[in-house]
């Protein structure tokens, strides 16, 4: 394998690695956004707060 071919192979490998890492990053879930922008999911998960045994307002 001559020197030019070696260089091409290295560049190709670097490019492939870059593409894979971007794909992996894009696939990393952001559950904050996924859940909190999903109206029906939020409705299903919501639990009403338990009220303290007091009355009053400011």
Partner 1 sequence: MYKGFVVDKELLGKDPHFRTGCILCHSGDPREMQKEKAHKGLLKKPSASLSSCGVCHKEIAGNYAKSLHFTSAGQRTGVMPRFSEAELKIFDEKVFEKSCRSCHASCGDCHVKGAPVDGISIGLIAKHKFVKKDEGKTCAFCHGGRVYPEYVGEYGGAPDVHYQKGMLCMDCHKKDEFHGDGNAYASKQDVPTRPACADCHKPGNETNPKARESHLTHADKVSCFGCHSGAAYRNCNTCHNGHSAASPGMILGRSPRDKKILTTLRLIPTVRDTFAPSGIKMENYDKVPNYWDTPAHNIRKRTDRTRRCDTCHEKRTNFLTKGTLLKNGSRANEELIFVPKPIKQ
Question: Residues in the site for partner 1, rule: CB under 8 A?
Answer: 28-33, 35-39, 42-43, 45-46, 48-49, 51-52, 54-58
Indicate the residue among 26 and 49 with the shorter CB distance to partner 1. Answer: 49
CA distance 20 to 12: 12
> Dihedrals φ, ψ of 39, to 5°?
-60, -50
22, HSE (Cβ side, Cα atoms, 13 Å)? 6
Give the nearest distance from C-beta 7 to partner 1 in angstroms: 37
Residue 8 C-beta: closest distance to partner 1, Å: 37
């Amino acid at each position: 394998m001559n020197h030019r071919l070696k260089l091409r192979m290295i560049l190709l490998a670097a490019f492939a690695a870059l593409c894979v890492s971007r794909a992996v990053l894009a696939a990393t879930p952001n559950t904050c956004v996924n859940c909190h922008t999903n109206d029906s999911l939020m409705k299903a998960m919501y639990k009403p707060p338990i009220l303290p045994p007091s009355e009053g307002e400011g």
